[in-house]
Amino acid sequence: TPGIHQPKHKLGEHMVAVAEETIEDADVVLWLADVNVAPTEEDLRIADLVDDDASKRDRVSAALKDSTQKNNRDHVDIIIALGMAKEGFDWIWCEHALTVGYRSSLTEIVQIIGRSTRDAPGKTRARFTNLIAEPDASEQAVTEAVNDTLKAIAASLLMEQVLAPRFEFKPKATATGPAEGYDYGEDGYDPKKCNVGINEESGQFQIEIKGLAEPKSEEASRICTEDLNEVIASFVQDKPTIERGLFDEEMIPEELTQLSMGKIIKDRYPELDAEDQEAVRQHAIAALNMTQQAKQALLETVSGEGGEGAGEESAIKPNTALIAGVRKFAMDVTELDIDLIDRINPFSEAYAILAKTMSEESLKNIAAIISAKRTTLLPEEARELAIRAVKFKRERGRSPSNTSQDAWERRMAEGAAAFMRYRGEGRYDES
């Protein structure tokens, strides 16, 4: 399968070191190829653009740009490069982008996807793989390895978000009926429930969510339409957020979806008023969690874990798989509301994949590092929780209780008490 391989710098030196360590008793390792034997169909044609010899790299690069081979699928099988996907390459047959390490730039991720999803005869799908090193519990630089792991997970989440269809979220209270051009499934639009519609031409979803805040200003509306991926990028790349989301067993989802995302929105868009900031927050979390839950629903359907899923596998087409996942998630919940979305940990699906691929020892080692970083409630966090507590009291007619069975309600009560304590100490006087 043609592909792109983007190793980090000095990967060659690292692999040599690994080989020397592994094959300690060997004096020389040779790979001999008879140049008089013509390549066969079983041989892989590899274009190496990481060669230290500049003249060799130039010849290989020129061969890739040969216009007479542009439509020859068998011209090359694998391209090994450092920054080619970022700089751009004209190989329409690319089906698998294999990245060693990670890309933290949303722009680079979009470029890699764009280069690999170009139309070509007989090409029906494209794959994207991020290869990351598993943190070894015995290695000295375990903290650095953990950081690389977190960054790679963030990059993978961003890649999924970029590949997801466009979402248009509407509050159920203001939805008056079906929108023109949208397909709402076999049963059609139901005015008594939250509906999910898809516009086949644009690929856009229209999703009704109970209790969703609408943006009031033109700028907030623009952000909800155009900039949600940028907001999500800031969220998943925030180190404390992704650390807690993946490895903190005591973490309450609302601490991420409401507090962490809320802080990111305030920092990015200080010019928006509180209502618009909350609207942007809700739209961003809805987009991220909708994609993650759709992925989970799809995996359950394809694997047969979702009850009747095994029989539905053949009915799901690759190019509509995520659409099926979004619809399945929306149909599986009785009422799609913003409180339900806020109670979902956006990183739960990523952790589920880690748990299947990493050793138990590595997972425990990472969790121990994250747990050691826990701190007491900061004044700014207490202030945000107090604001949420006031909203809670306004909506329910009572203050949050520190004895409630709901963990988020207890957290708000704790934050409100800490806020009063900090205020009594004069911690907010300067602000």
Predicted local distance difference test score (pLDDT) of residue 7: 46
Dihedrals phi, psi of 135, to nearest 5 degrees: -60, 125
Distance separating alpha carbons of residues 411 and 405, to the nearest angstrom: 11
Return the exposure string of 200-226: e unless at least 16 CB atoms fall within 10 Å of the residue's CB, then b: eeeeebbbbbbbbbbbeeeebbebbee
Any residues with CB less than 8 A from the CB of 41 and at least 6 apart, and which? none
Q: CB within 8 A of 154, min separation 6: which ones?
A: 102, 104, 236, 237, 242
- For residue 308, name the pLDDT band (cuts at 50, 70, 90): very low
As a whole number of angstroms, the distance between CA 162 and CA 179 comes to 25
Which pLDDT score is estimated for 67? 85
* pLDDT bracket for residue 23 (50, 70, 90): low
Q: What is the DSSP letter of 173?
A: G
**What share of the chain has pLDDT > 70, as a percent?**
77
Most confident option among 30-44, 195-209, 288-302, 304-318: 195-209
Higher pLDDT, 121 or 85: 121
**Phi and psi at residue 155, in whole multiples of 5°?**
-65, -40
Measured over all CA atoms, what is the biggest interatomic distance in the chain, rounded to whole angstroms? 86
- Determine the pLDDT at residue 210: 92
Residues in contact with 189: Cβ distance below 8 Å, sequence separation at least 6, in sequence order: 177, 178, 195, 197
State how far Cα 299 lies from the chain centre: 16
Q: Which of the four pLDDT bands, split at 50, 70 and 90, describes residue 370?
A: confident
Residues 379, 385: Cα–Cα separation, whole Å: 10
Give the SS3 label for residue 152: helix
How far is C-alpha 430 from the chain's CA centre?
Answer: 38
User: What's the pLDDT band for 16 if we cut at 50, 70, 90?
Assistant: low
pLDDT at 13: 62
CA 377 to CA 383: how far, in whole Å? 10
Q: Please, what is the Cα angle at 268 between 266 and 269, to 5 degrees?
A: 65
Q: Which residue shows structure tokens 């139309």?
A: 119
Is pTM beyond 0.85 here? no
How do the domains of the chain map onto residue ranges?
A: 3-131, 160-164+210-374, 376-431
Considering 63-77, 214-228, 347-361, the range whose residues carry the highest mean pLDDT is 214-228
CATH architecture label of 3-131: 3-Layer(aba) Sandwich (3.40)
Cβ neighbours, 10 Å, residue 350: 22
Q: Between the CA of residue 160 and those of 26, 291, 293, 350, 354, what are the distances in Å?
A: 44, 8, 12, 11, 16
Mean pLDDT for 370-391 is 84
What are the structure tokens assigned to 169, written together? 């979220």
Q: Tell me the pLDDT tens digit for each residue of 87-129.
A: 556 788 888 888 876 666 777 777 788 878 888 888 888 888 8
Q: Dig out the tokens for 7 from the structure.
A: 């190793």
Tell me the two tokens of residue 82.
Answer: 């450092």
Q: How far is CA 12 from each of CA 24, 50, 135, 322, 346, rounded to the nearest angstrom? A: 18, 9, 20, 37, 36
DSSP 336-384: -BHHHHHTS-TTHHHHHHHHHHS-HHHHHHHHHHHHTT--PPPHHHHHH
Mean pLDDT for 66-90 is: 78
Residue 298 has pLDDT above 90, yes or no: no
Query: Predicted confidence band at 54 (pLDDT cuts at 50, 70, 90)?
Result: confident
CA–CA gap between residue 193 and residue 187 (Å, rounded): 12
Output the pLDDT for position 372.
Answer: 67
Q: What one-letter code names the amino acid at 257?
A: T
pLDDT of residue 312: 42
Helices (H), 123-179: 142-163
Q: What are the tokens at 165?
A: 């269809």
Question: Is residue 365's pLDDT more than 70?
Answer: yes
Q: If DSSP codes are grouped into helix, strand and coil, which group holds residue 49?
A: coil
